[in-house]
Amino acid sequence: MEKDKLIKQTLKSTQWPPVSVDFQYKTMQKVFLLAEKKRKRAYMLNLAGISFVSLLLVAACIYILEVYFAFSFTLPEIHLTSSSLSILIFSFYIAALVFLLIGLDAFMRRRWQMRNGNLE
């Protein structure tokens, strides 16, 4: 009986300090942060892998066209006149506007999704 009291007393004296009240919350926040980092890293690795494979496919196509089909990738000579130059400038202007509008659309959609809380 006295041994039990001594064991209990020894265990009480060697206990660690009590954990804080929000220990579980802080721990779960760290777990969620690490999970988010892991998800972002996996996304970036997938994106890099897809880009690498795409570049390899393009290189393989060019190699096959040049070696097996004797296709030449020489650029033709371009003679620019004033009318063709104005059409070229107008085409680049329209292309720039299209890219700007696509970028703004993506930005506004992302912002709308974040505001409404349905970001996936």
Tell me: the pLDDT tens digits for 40-97? 999 999 999 999 999 999 999 989 988 888 877 777 787 888 888 899 899 999 999 9
3-state secondary structure the chain: CHHHHHHHHHHHHCCCCCCCCCHHHHHHHHHHHHHHHHHHHHHHHHHHHHHHHHHHHHHHHHHHHHHCCCCCCCCCCCCCCHHHHHHHHHHHHHHHHHHHHHHHHHHHHHHHHHHHCCCC
Cα–Cα dist 15/9, whole Å: 10
Record the pTM. 0.45
Query: What are the residue ranges spanned by the domains of the chain?
Result: 20-74, 75-120
